Amino acid sequence: MNKSVTLQIRRLDPERDSDLPLPAYHSELAAGMDVAAAITAPLLLAKGEIVLVSTGLAMAIPPGYEVQVRPRSGLAIKHGVTVVNAPGTIDADYRGEVKVGLINLGKEPFTIRRGDRIAQLVLAPVVRAELSVVAELDVTARNDGGFGHTGL
C-alpha cells in the first residue's frame, strides 16, 4: 500500500455544493482523484474555447507537496476536452478556490454540467532545486541533441 498524506479540503459554499462529491479515487490503485464542476448552470464549451471551471473547493496542501491538475483521459480522448495548462500546479501555500482551465480541442461543442468530473487531482512530492552555476556541463551521449533527436 502507498503512503497516505492528509490533504485538508474545504467546501467554500457548503450549503450550495453539498450535492457534489468530494474529489475521489475511483479505483484501488488510481493516482488521481476525480474532481467535479461546481457550476450552477450548464456551460457550453465551443470548439477552441478556454474556460475556467469552478470546483467550489479550497485545500491546504502539506509542505513538500503540490497538487497537479491533470486531464481526464475519457474527456480528452472522446471529446477533445483537456486541461489547457496540463499539468496545472496548485502550490502548498495557495488557499484560494481550485479552478480548472479547460480547452475544447474537439470537433464539436461540449457541454459541462454541474457535477461532471472535469479533471484529476494528483498529490505529488516536490523537490526544490539548489542552482549551481558552472562553466561547463558534463558530456552525455545525447549532449545537445534537441527535439526529435532520437528519431521518435
Predicted confidence (pLDDT) per residue in 97-123, tens digit = 999 999 999 999 999 999 999 999 999
pLDDT in tens, 31-48: 999 999 999 999 999 999
Full domain range(s) for residue 67: 8-125
Domain count, the chain: 1
Q: What is the pLDDT of residues 56-101, one digit of tens each?
A: 999 999 999 999 999 999 999 999 999 999 999 999 999 999 999 9
pLDDT over threshold 70, residue 150: no
150 within a domain of the structure (yes/no): no
- Residue 132 within a domain: no
121-147 pLDDT, tens digit each: 999 999 999 999 999 999 988 888 777
The closest alpha carbon to 8, from 89, 94, 76, belongs to: 94
- 8 A C-beta contact, residue 119 and residue 70: yes
Is 135 inside any structural domain? no
Q: Can you give the CATH number for the domain in which 76 is found? A: 2.70.40.10
Closest alpha carbon to 57 in 91, 22, 28? 22
| Local confidence band at 2 (pLDDT 50, 70, 90 cut-offs) | low
